Amino acid sequence: MRHTLPIAPQFYVTAPQPCPYLEGRMERKLFTALQGEQAERLNDTLSKQGFRRSQNVLYRPSCAECAACLSARIKVADFAPSRSQRRILNRNKHLTRRATSPWATEEQYTLFRDYLDSRHATGGMADMDLFEFAAMVEETPIRSRLIEYEDLAERNTGPRNGLKAVCLTDILDDGLSMVYSFFDPEGERNSFGTYIILDHIQIAREMGLPYVYLGYWVPGSPKMGYKANFKGVEIYRAGTWQPIGDPDDYSAETHPLSVDPIAEQVARIHLPDVRPVGD
């Protein structure tokens, strides 16, 4: 049996850049590389501490004067759909779900471009070409799936071939992590973004997984407010997961003492226990 050295990832901080969620603020991220034979366990462990994956990197916000971004997840056992969410499920019951390996296709990229051009034309991904899109989807060192939602009645028609929505999803030891989703921007009535989350809750139930990780909820950001609309949402705050409570009780105000020094943040990060390779 071969043994490995203890996991001791190096953590870094990005240079400040304009915040994509709250106007007039600067963001920075604490991040580490996700690689090697223990990558999956590192991803599982840090996801429980508010980190997110982007390709081969794990990150979480670490802004100098702002702590508005809060990692959010849905506790599946506590979730029950609202009346409007039941309507969304019914409105999309004609869609077919298909889980595939993380392999990019031209239909996905066409849908991705339509989504960006309509919703995020000035965002950081606006200029992403097909090869960069393929890297975002395919460069994963852990167990990931593409969950596609198709309208079979539209198959073989148009460049999207009936594809209505896609989510790149990581399978964690305690849940599903929705890494990135995109959908037909013309289907506003269908509320595809909400539908994808609702269906992931169902997938988690089918797999016996307790959580669906949503990414970051940002009080005061219209883009991210929808994440608070699901019963059973928890947020990661002050080192623990806790029920979100009333979303209106949260403030996005800045304060110079709202974020601990980087060294203290890193010192509090729990890393996975060392296991011999092959266990």
State the pTM of this model.
0.91
Provide the CB-side half-sphere exposure for 271 (13 A, CA): 15
Q: How confident is the model at residue 154 (pLDDT cuts 50, 70, 90)?
A: confident
DSSP 110-161: HHHHHHHHHH-TTSTTTT--HHHHHHHHH--SS-EEEEEEE-GGGTTSTTTT
In the predicted structure, residue 4 carries a pLDDT above the cut 70: no
> In sequence order, which residues have a C-beta less than 8 Å from that of residue 3 and are 6 or more positions away?
276, 277
pLDDT at 112: 94
What distances in angstroms separate CA 180 from CA 146, 167, 244, 258, one per listed residue?
Answer: 10, 6, 22, 28
pLDDT in tens, 56-85: 999 999 988 888 899 999 999 999 999 999
The Cα 204–Cα 212 span in angstroms is 7
Rounded Cα distance between 216 and 179, Å, is: 11
C-beta atoms surrounding 133 within 10 Å: 18
Higher pLDDT, 110 or 117: 110
Q: Cα 50 to chain center, whole Å?
A: 11
Residue 34 has pLDDT above 50, yes or no: yes
Average pLDDT over the chain reads 89
Domain extents in the chain: 12-69+253-267, 72-249
78: Cβ–Cβ under 8 A, 6 or more apart, which residues?
A: 231, 232
Tell me what pLDDT residue 122 has. Answer: 59
Answer whether residue 238 shows pLDDT above 50: yes
pLDDT digits over 249-261, tens only? 887 776 666 678 8
Range with lowest mean pLDDT among 113-117, 164-168, 176-180: 113-117
**pLDDT at residue 187, as a whole number:** 80
Res 279: pLDDT: 52
170-180: average pLDDT: 97
State the architecture of 72-249 in CATH terms: 3-Layer(aba) Sandwich (3.40)
